[in-house]
A and B are shown apart, each in its own frame.
Chain A
Amino acid sequence: MSAPRRRPARKAAPAPRPNGHADHREGALLRLTTAIAAARDEGAIYRSMVEGLHDEAIGYNFLGVFLLDPATGDRVLQASVGWDRIPHGMRVHPGEGLSERALQDGRLHYAPDVRRADHYVPSLASGSEVDVPLQADGETIGVLVVESAEPDAFGEKDFEILSAAANQAAIAIGRMRLLAAERRRADEQKALLDTMADLSGELELPKVLQAVLARAVTLLGVTGGEVAIFDEARQELVVVASEHIGKTSTGTRLALGEGAMGTVAQSLEPLIIPSYREWLGRSGKYADIQVHSVMAAPLLIGRRLVGAIATVHADPSRVFGAEDLRLLNLFAPQAAIAIENARLFTAERDRAGEQKALLETLADLSGELELPKVLQAVLSRAVTLLGVTGGEVAIFDEARQELVVVASEQIGKDSTGTRLKPGEGAMGAVALTLQPLIIPSYEEWLGRSGKYADVQVHSVMVAPLLIGGRLVGAIALLHSDPARVFGADDLRRLNLFAPQAAIAIENAQLYTSAQRERQYFRAVVEHSPVAIVTLDLEGVIVSCNPAFERLFGYRLEEAVGRNLDALINTRATLAEAQAYTAQAGQQTARGIGRRQRKDGSLLDVELAGVPVIVDGERVGILALYHDVTDLLSARRDAEEANSAKSRFLASMSHELRTPLNAIIGYSELIEEEARDLGADALAPDVLKVRTAGKHLLSLINDILDLSKIEAGRMELHLETFELRAVLDEVLTTAEPLARKNGNRLEIRCPEPAGTLRADLVKLRQMLLNLLSNACKFTRDGAVTLTVERAVEEGREWVRFQVADTGIGMTAEQMGRLFEAFAQAEASTASRYGGTGLGLAITRRLCQLMGGDVAVASEAGQGSTFTIRLPAEVHPPAAAAAQH
């Protein structure tokens, strides 16, 4: 707690955990953001912040905003909720309270148990406090203090929410202070403007000058006179007041050196012309008036020319003398000061106008997001303010690397939609240089674009629109009046608008792309055949798509606000579904399960859930359901059929073996007895019976093995044994087979070979299978069994390699090698014997023990079979659980 003697308004308030549903909380956060953005003054920002965070959907109970008073270093309470007894404006002095730390280092601080924190001023008996710094323009200006009566009440998520709120408030404060400064400036300008308007009777230049002139004419007793002001931009005099000279000469323009006033404007010295008609410097513009003599004087502020005054005598008897000149010089400064005042006034009025236009632009930008409208408004104002003929604004299409004109004003045609490559035309030129550009005479400019051939353009001023250093567009203004040119002041004023237009473009593009993306995803979701539902973090449905409505039979409005798991589960599946939802809150969850429709019918679904993350924060869950009822029932049927097949084969094999045992046994008996009885002639036939019986028996045994494996009933009898002993035993058994075809049988094995934990009987069966195959398909060659140990994937493995120099196989033959009944060719079985099941069994036994078998071979080049087994085989269930 950062304030002394503070007491909570609510006793035993619940811990300030976010307790609403996430969509309510999202709504509340959105309201908070909106309220902060809409606040009209800083006080409103602070109130919006504490009230918004207090919203029950967000659920913080004790909140206060303190601002630093730079004069005293005190923290002054600006707004609070839950601290009703604490007066607004209460001060916390330096050295008091926890909130000072956030102020000092500009970081969020958390005291999980305030009783253990230094400087805590005990107001709640216990609890926790978060202090979030408020920053504006890079300075910490205050602290948001959030408290709970519970210790350890805040977590990472709270810090995120509170920091986000503080950030939004900081942005709003920064913007508001900026706007306030602008407004203050504009207000000052407006006051000046108003004052000047009050004085306009006296200040309006032509009237003042006319009055000055009238008084001068009377005093000097002359026929009449004129006053002209100097147009600095065009270096010309313009007559603005005229008295009794025989015509209305106002508006007449005189170049420097032209006529009497032109002459004094150039020489900056008074001039008396005794006989105007004979004077060589006279201007043709005064040919039609009766003028005898003329006296003219420059109007100066210091040595700077602001205008000229002239008086004339029409009466040939009157001439101007030194006394007249002295009198004229009494009036000249008055006229000069009036002109200067008026100029200053106009400049001020223009500047105030600029500020006003800028303010209106700012207001527009916050109010409007539709880009062309905003840009058109910005452009209109720029055109008005700078007094130009017209202009254009283009945005930079980054995908196509082109400028596209989107706003166009008074340029003689509608140029919107015109595309300009960088380097093309005036705007294209600044797109390359990123520097403003003034083109005094566009017709003569070599870089002009053919796209503007039909437009009256005299001079052009262009500025790039930049965000940071990145081009987002360009603005161009033009004069079609040949008399007008652009100067530095115009550029200064254009630069008032350029950043506003740039920001508008940037904002609008961000907004548009976000909107487009939203529309795209909405369309995808709407038309997806997969049922899609979004949930808040508590598993409550926020929205769902039509496919979801169809699949489960709930309409959107029935589903929203309900807990998804409760809605579509039976008691049997609820726990499993909730586990998926919990997982999906953190990471992708996938599975297959049974769910219930509104009408009570059940369906099988494949489901996937993923957390929805916005700005690094988990805000909900997206869940997908795909109806696999038919698929699953088909699979169940297939599995059932397969299992039935396996059971049938198993029992068949068993039933077949009993009579077969008798056949083999009796044939052996007959062989022996025939030998005893001397009936040797019977022996070959009996041997055939016995051989055929034994072949049938091994076929049946293999089928039994396979069906047991497939039915999942093949058990592993795991034991740890010495590898060497097994190898010797296998070699002894295989030796006669090798010898039969004249093969050498070799074994390569490290010493000591070490131990293996596996099913000994099945390992022996697999090795014998490979060795007998090798011996069978090799004649007068070599069969080598190589054993190696290796560590791979973090476990120890044993590799058994059986290589022969026999007939080998083609790639095609190898393809189906490990499938049941797939001895490379049907003819092979009859030629080489065997059941054709050995390799299929070997592979499945390998897999059962967590290993595998592979083959490398080439026709005519022999074959190499490699069995790879873990040195420590785990029971299949345990092996599955490890993955």
Chain B
Amino acid sequence: MARILLVEDNEMNRDMLSRRLARRGHEVEMAVDGPEGVVKAAAGGYDLVLMDMSLPEIDGWEATRQIRAAESGTPVPIIALTAHAMAGDREKALEAGCNDYDTKPVDLDRLLGKIQALLGAAQ
């Protein structure tokens, strides 16, 4: 069981994904845009961040960079979520400081696998 911060601006996606993750036993906190995500992540206490990349104001890449810049202790694992399954997105996400990358629409089992892998590595 993990504490997960879900940064997602689309209300339906946020609601659906958080509920499905919760059903699998995770504790999900939510942020509705980049700045909120950065603030909450900086406050700490999360095992993992799910970061939507296309956010208003500051996008997911920028938010990730800011989170990484503000971090002092062990870096929190961040999984980038993007609807643009374009070549280069993965590299761009990893470059910004994400640990992994998954495409939307979310295939829950696949995402859970990636979450599990990162949490397992962290432990």
Interface residues of A (CB under 8 A from B): 654, 657-662, 664-666, 668-669, 672-673, 697, 715-717, 759
Interface string of B2-38 (1 = CB under 8 A from A): 0000000010110011011001000000000000000
B99–chain A nearest beta-carbon distance, Å: 20
Contact at B87–A716, with CB atoms within 8 Å? yes
- Residue numbers in B under 8 Å from A759 (CB-CB): 87
Shortest 4 CB-CB distances between A and B: which pairs? A661-B105, A717-B87, A665-B16, A715-B87
Q: Using Cβ atoms and an 8 Å threshold, which residues of chain B touch A665?
A: 13, 16-17, 20, 105-106
Which B residues fall within an 8 A CB radius of A?
Answer: 10, 12-13, 16-17, 19-20, 23, 83-84, 86-88, 104-106, 108
Q: Provide the main secondary structure of the chain A interface.
A: helix
Contacts between chains A and B (CB distance < 8 A), count: 43
Given A657-B104, A661-B13, A666-B12, 20 additional A-B pairs, CB 8 A: A654-B84, A657-B83, A657-B105, A658-B10, A658-B13, A659-B12, A661-B105, A661-B106, A662-B13, A665-B16, A666-B16, A669-B16, A669-B20, A669-B23, A672-B20, A672-B23, A715-B88, A716-B87, A717-B87, A759-B87
Q: Which residues of A contact B86 (CB under 8 A)?
A: 715
Alpha-carbon gap, A105 to B46, bound state (A): 98
Tell me, in angstroms, the Cα distance from A659 to B83 when the chains sit together.
Answer: 12
CA A654 to CA B19, docked complex, whole Å? 24
What residue in chain A is nearest B108 (Cβ atoms)? A668
| Given A669-B16, A672-B23, CB of A661 within 8 Å of CB of B87 | no
Which residues of B lie under 8 Å from residue A668 when comparing CB positions? 20, 108
Give min CB distance, B24 to chain A, whole Å. 9
- Could you name 5 residue pairs across A and B whose Cβ atoms are closer than 8 Å? A658-B13, A659-B12, A665-B13, A668-B20, A669-B19
* Max count, chain A CB within 10 A of own CB: residue among B86, B87, B105: B105
A662 vs B17: C-alpha distance when bound (angstroms): 9
Q: How far is the CB of A850 from chain B (nearest CB, A)?
A: 17
Which of A661, A669, A672, A673 is B104 in contact with, Cβ under 8 Å?
A661
CB < 8 Å neighbour of B83 from A654, A666, A715, A717: A654
Q: Which of A662, A672, A673 is the one whose CB lies under 8 Å from B12?
A: A662
| Residue of A whose beta carbon sits closest to that of B10 | A658
Shortest beta-carbon distance from B90 to chain A in Å: 9
Instruction: List, in ascending order, chain B residues with CB within 8 A of A697's CB.
Output: 105
Q: Which residues of B contact A716 (CB under 8 A)?
A: 87
Which of chain A's residues have a CB closer than 8 A to the CB of B16? 662, 665-666, 669
Complex Cα–Cα for A662 and B86 (A): 21
Interface centre among B12, B13, B104, B106 (most CB of A within 10 A): B12
Q: When chains A and B are docked, how far (Å) is the Cα of A658 from the Cα of B9?
A: 12
Contacts of A657 in B (CB 8 A): 83, 104-105
Instruction: Give the CA-CA distance A665 to B88 in the complex, in Å.
Output: 26
Complexed CA–CA distance, A654 and B85 (Å): 11
Give the residue name and chain of the B residue nearest to A697 (CB): B105
Residues of A within 8 A of B20 (CB): 665, 668-669, 672
How many Å lie between the Cα of A666 and that of B83 in the bound state?
Answer: 18
- Residue in B closest to A661 when the chains form the complex, CB atoms: B105
Compute how far the CA of A662 lies from the CA of B14 in the bound complex, rounded to whole angstroms.
10
A658 touches B87 (CB 8 A): no
Residues of chain B within 8 A of A673, CB atoms compared: 23
CB distance from A482 to the nearest CB of B (A): 107
Q: B93 CB to closest chain A CB, in angstroms?
A: 14
Residues of chain B lying within 8 A (CB to CB) of residue A666? 12, 16
* Closest Cβ neighbor of B90 among chain A residues: A717
What residue in chain A is nearest B24 (Cβ atoms)? A672
Q: Least Cβ distance of A841 to chain B in Å?
A: 14
Shortest C-beta distance, B44 to chain A (Å), equals 29
Q: Distance in Å from the Cβ of B104 to the closest Cβ of chain A?
A: 6
Please give me the residue from chain A that is nearest to B88 by CB atom.
Answer: A715
Which A-chain residue is minimally distant from B104 (CB atoms)? A661
A672 cross-chain contacts in B, Cβ below 8 A: 20, 23
Q: Report A-chain residues with C-beta under 8 Å of the C-beta of B108.
A: 668
How far, in angstroms, from A697 to B85 measured CA to CA in the complex?
A: 14
Taking CB atoms, residues of chain A closer than 8 Å to B83 are 654, 657-658
The CA-CA distance from A337 to B88 in the complex, in Å, is 122
> Which residue of chain A has its CB nearest to the CB of B19?
A669
Residues of A within 8 A of B84 (CB): 654
Inter-chain CA distance A759–B87, complex, in Å, is 10
Chain B min CB distance to A718 (Å): 9
* Beta-carbon nearest neighbor of A705 in chain B: B85
Distance in Å from the Cβ of A701 to the closest Cβ of chain B?
9
Alpha-carbon separation in the docked complex, A662 to B10 (Å): 10
**B105 touches which of A660, A669, A717 (Cβ 8 Å):** A660
Complex Cα gap A697–B108 (Å): 16
Q: A669-B16, A669-B20, A672-B23 are in contact. Are A664 and B87 (CB under 8 A)?
A: no
CA distance A121 to B2 in the complex (A): 101
Complex CA distance for A408 and B81, rounded to whole angstroms: 103
Q: Closest residue of chain A to B17, judged by CB?
A: A665
CA distance A759 to B86 in the complex (A): 13
CB distance from B123 to the nearest CB of A (A): 27
B48 to chain A, nearest CB (A): 19
Q: How far is the CB of A672 from chain B (nearest CB, A)?
A: 6
B87 proximity list for chain A (CB < 8 A): 715-717, 759
How many Å from the CB of A694 to the closest CB on chain B?
9
Could you tell me the distance between the alpha carbons of A658 and B10 in the complex, rounded to whole angstroms? 9
Q: Chain A: which residue is nearest B105 at the CB level? A: A661
**Minimum CB distance partner of A715 in chain B:** B87
Docked pose: A659 CA to B87 CA in angstroms: 23
Instruction: Please report the C-alpha to C-alpha distance between residue A656 and residue B68 in the assembled complex, in whole angstroms.
Output: 33
Is the pair B19, A664 in contact by a Cβ cutoff of 8 Å?
Answer: no
Shortest CB distance A638–B (Å): 27
Complex CA gap A665/B109 in Å reads: 12
